[in-house]
Amino acid sequence: MPAPLETLYELERGAALPLPPELERLYGRLQMAQPAGRPAVIANFVTTLDGVTALNMPGGAVGDISGSNAQDRLLMGLLRATADAVIVGAGTLRSVPKHLWTPAHIYRPLADAYQALRANLGKTEPPLNVIVTAQGALDVTLPVFQSDEVSTLIVTTASGAARLSGQPLPSSTQMVVAAEAGSLSASAILEATTRARQSQIILVEGGPLLMGDFFAEQRLDDLFLTLAPQVAGRDASVERPGLVAGHLFAPEQPRWGTLVSVRRGESFLFLRYAF
């Protein structure tokens, strides 16, 4: 079990969620602001000191930004435990093809505590796994589509749906066309998600292109950002993305955040910003 996080700074940010004692001991209070008439939209990422969010190793191997840090996984599971839906892009799915976006899947030692939190919140089933793909380039034999542990929503375009039409989908997986062609807006993704699952909290876990769209449309309320104490580096041989791709904000339209909390676990910093 990881050591408790040390709270260095915290602003009031909505009502405190009913965390079970074990989670409150490890994380501290978790507050969540609830916007009027819509779900809160939060994101969770881990980045190196030099801003790398994916190592993109040669041959498709996946490098670990956090070094499988237990406290980072604790937080990932905690946020998933609060969420009604978790949104990821197709590229993120391809990087972890056997993954399920559930609390227990990311950090099994706290599975019972996460389930107790969901019960406290009145959530009777795992978060809806939302996979976003404009082109429909998905392998629907992967566990996220075939497992009976989660319900899954594919949000795609008309052309993406046509590409996927030859692959039979199990009853646990729905597909929604949210645009005729081109890219999928953050607003369209959120609308499709809330139609499929009544939601108070929606969690976005990337990747960078998806994050760029949510920032561009100002549809993100809070960013939980883990700062891992490593320098990954970049060169011309491989693309190593940062938090956001596909949009330029500064200097004309920068997205400034307000620091909400700082927690520390050894040399890791766990930051939270409101937008």
The residue type at 237: S
pLDDT by residue (tens digit) across 65-115?
A: 999 999 999 999 999 999 999 999 999 999 999 999 999 999 999 999 999
Domains, the chain: 14-23+38-46+63-230+257-274 (3.40.430.10)
Across-strand partners of 271? 225, 262
Query: CA 67, CA 60: separation in Å to the nearest integer?
Result: 18
Check whether 175 has a pLDDT greater than 80: yes
Read off the pLDDT of each residue in 244-255 and give the average, rounded to a whole number: 96
Asked if 221 and 36 count as a contact pair (C-beta separation under 8 A), the reply is no
Q: Whole-prediction pTM value?
A: 0.96
Cis peptide leading into residue 60 (ω within 30°) = no
Place 238 in a pLDDT band, splitting at 50, 70 and 90: confident
Instruction: Give SS3 for 51.
Output: coil
Q: What is the average pLDDT value for the chain, to the nearest integer?
A: 95
CA 220 to each of CA 60, 105, 131, 266: distance values in angstroms, whole numbers, following the listed order: 30, 25, 18, 29
Predicted local distance difference test score (pLDDT) of residue 59: 54
Predicted local distance difference test score (pLDDT) of residue 63: 61
Of the CA atoms within 13 Å of residue 167, those in its CB half-sphere come to: 19
